[in-house]
């Protein structure tokens, strides 16, 4: 159990580093696409260093007029 916890933490740290290297943390998060891309990049972890470049496109429903 302890090894799995350490592995998970290292996995997420690798993803956070990859997001930082891609410049995702500069500026403010302006929309759903940026927030989702950051989250998926962190969750992808070290796979980012093997060519994975996740991008998410999401749409927030607009209120009816």
- pTM of the predicted model as reported, rounded to 2 decimal places: 0.79
Please report the pLDDT score of residue 30 as a whole number. Answer: 76
pLDDT of the residue at 32: 82
d(CA 43, CA 13): 9
Distance CA 23, CA 36 (A): 15
Query: pLDDT value at position 46?
Result: 92
| Summary mean pLDDT of the chain | 88
Quick: pLDDT tens for 27-53: 777 778 888 889 999 999 999 899 888
* Percent of the chain topping pLDDT 70: 100
Domain ranges of the chain: 2-50
């Amino acid at each position: 159990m302890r090894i799995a916890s350490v592995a998970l933490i290292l996995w997420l740290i690798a993803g956070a580093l990859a997001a930082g290297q891609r410049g995702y943390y500069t500026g403010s998060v302006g929309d759903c696409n940026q927030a989702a891309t950051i989250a998926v990049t962190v969750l992808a972890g070290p796979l980012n260093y093997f060519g994975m470049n996740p991008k998410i496109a999401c749409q927030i429903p607009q209120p009816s007029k």
